[in-house]
Amino acid sequence: MRADRLVAVLLLMQARGRVTAAELAAELEVSVATARRDLSALSVAGVPVYPQPGRGGGWSLVGGARTDLSGLSAAEAQALFVLVGPAAAVSAEAKAALRKLVRALPSTFRADAEAAAAATMIDPTRWGERDRRRPPMAGLLQEAVIHRREVRLTYTSATRERTERLVDPWGLVDKDDVWYLLAGTEGGRRTFRVDRVVAAEPTGRTAGRPDDFTLAAAWEEVVGEVERRRSRTWATVLIEHRFVPVLRDRFGRHCHLDGEPGGGRARVRLAAPTPLDVARNLAGWGALVEVIEPRSVQVELARIGKALAERYTGFDGDS
């Protein structure tokens, strides 16, 4: 886990005062290129590390060697926790590293550092979208979560309707590079896609947040509701075993291996919001997939097949 490694890099630098990328690579059993990227990541995040070129050079912490984290400023400690915090949601090692960091910090910095770690979490299971970049508004909203600042959002809905609303930012979730903001509104808790936030302006007022709020628990409720909407129609299909990973990549958590009926094929359960959604996702597989049930999906596949046959009658592979 990279976050856990970043903590190890920092502690090694504090113990030794100055290290080279090659020394770090040997110590952490990674490549020299990976060690350099880790050092750069700490620097970009605001941790006070800097390179010294030339013979006898290397990387050092501003202020020299230290045996704890008390030399970090409040902003630097917060930057480090923003880096490590999200990984703690999916890694026991990163969570352990986070606890050690908290204990090593001066008490005056702990509240902000813990708030930074809790402001963001990672949900690695995708909802069918990939290769997105962190949206520009994520950093500003993360600061608002950490410092409990009310924000005026200009937001574009899925139907492209633009609205303006006051929100209390409670937490950010990175779901396979698609970012979501959980926030309090006049109508209760709401979830906003950060890439649809056109503008975000802190009002200067303190944001409210329920005393019992935890980002992980709230996000679990959001995911549960979304999954219920996305899995209203379940279908059972037969497919060759070698294609099951491809189906899993397409359907995500809505794809479950349901047994092996024999003949080199697997029985798989798939889900989507409607029978038409299931059929559309399977139509391109042709005869490679056999739908056992429900009949509604079979009917939609037959309709799609008929429409394609009528449109492309007269075409053959030689034309």
Please indicate, yes or no, if residue 127 is contained in any of the structural domains: no
Q: Which CATH number goes with the domain that contains 274?
A: 3.30.70
pLDDT in tens, 162-220: 999 999 999 888 876 788 999 999 989 999 999 899 999 999 999 998 988 888 888 88
Element (H, E) at 276: helix 275-283
Mean of pLDDT values over 60-70? 55
Q: Which residues contact 260 (CB under 8 A, 6 or more apart)?
A: 241, 266, 267
Please indicate, yes or no, if residue 13 is contained in any of the structural domains: yes
Residue with the larger pLDDT of the pair 219 and 296: 296
The answer on pLDDT for 65 being more than 80 is no
The answer on pLDDT for 319 being more than 70 is no
Specify the pLDDT at position 54: 65
Please indicate, yes or no, if residue 132 is contained in any of the structural domains: no
Closest CA to 257 of 234, 239, 288, 266: 266
- In this structure, are residues 283 and 305 in contact, taking their beta carbons and an 8 Å threshold? yes
Q: What is the mean pLDDT of the chain?
A: 79
Specify the pLDDT at position 304: 94
Please indicate, yes or no, if residue 318 is contained in any of the structural domains: no
The answer on pLDDT for 231 being more than 60 is yes
pTM of the predicted structure, to 2 decimals? 0.50
Sign of CA dihedral 309, 311, 313, 315: negative
Specify the pLDDT at position 67: 39
What is the three-class DSSP state of 110?
helix
Domain containing residue 203 = 137-213
Q: Cα separation of 246 and 254, whole Å? A: 13
Counting Cβ atoms within 10 Å, is residue 253 exposed (0-12), middle (13-18) or buried (19+)? middle
The answer on pLDDT for 299 being more than 90 is yes
Residue found under tokens 């504090």: 14
Q: Based on the structure, what is the number of domains in the chain?
A: 3
What is the three-class DSSP state of 319?
coil
Q: Cα separation of 50 and 63, whole Å? A: 11
Q: Cα separation of 211 and 209, whole Å? A: 6
Q: Cα separation of 214 and 117, whole Å? A: 12
Element (H, E) at 285: none
Specify the pLDDT at position 198: 92
Please indicate, yes or no, if residue 90 is contained in any of the structural domains: yes
Please indicate, yes or no, if residue 225 is contained in any of the structural domains: no
- In this structure, are residues 3 and 91 in contact, taking their beta carbons and an 8 Å threshold? yes
- In this structure, are residues 225 and 169 in contact, taking their beta carbons and an 8 Å threshold? no
Closest CA to 81 of 98, 64, 95: 98
Select the highest-mean-pLDDT range: 7-11, 25-29, 145-149: 145-149
**Cβ atoms within 10 A of the Cβ of 48, count?**
15
Two structure tokens written together for 87? 């990984």
Q: What are phi and psi of 44, to 5 degrees?
A: -65, -35
Question: Is 302 found in the same domain as 241?
Answer: yes
Question: Is 145 found in the same domain as 88?
Answer: no
Please indicate, yes or no, if residue 319 is contained in any of the structural domains: no
Band of pLDDT at residue 292, cut at 50, 70 and 90: very high
120-123 and 162-175 as β-strands: parallel, antiparallel, unpaired?
Answer: parallel
Question: Is 265 found in the same domain as 209?
Answer: no
Q: Say how many residues make up the chain.
A: 319
Please indicate, yes or no, if residue 221 is contained in any of the structural domains: no
Question: Is 295 found in the same domain as 196?
Answer: no
Phi-psi group of 56: left, alpha or beta (phi > 0 → left; psi -120 to 50 → alpha; rest → beta): left
Residue with the larger pLDDT of the pair 121 and 12: 12
Domain boundary, last residue among 179, 213, 247: 213
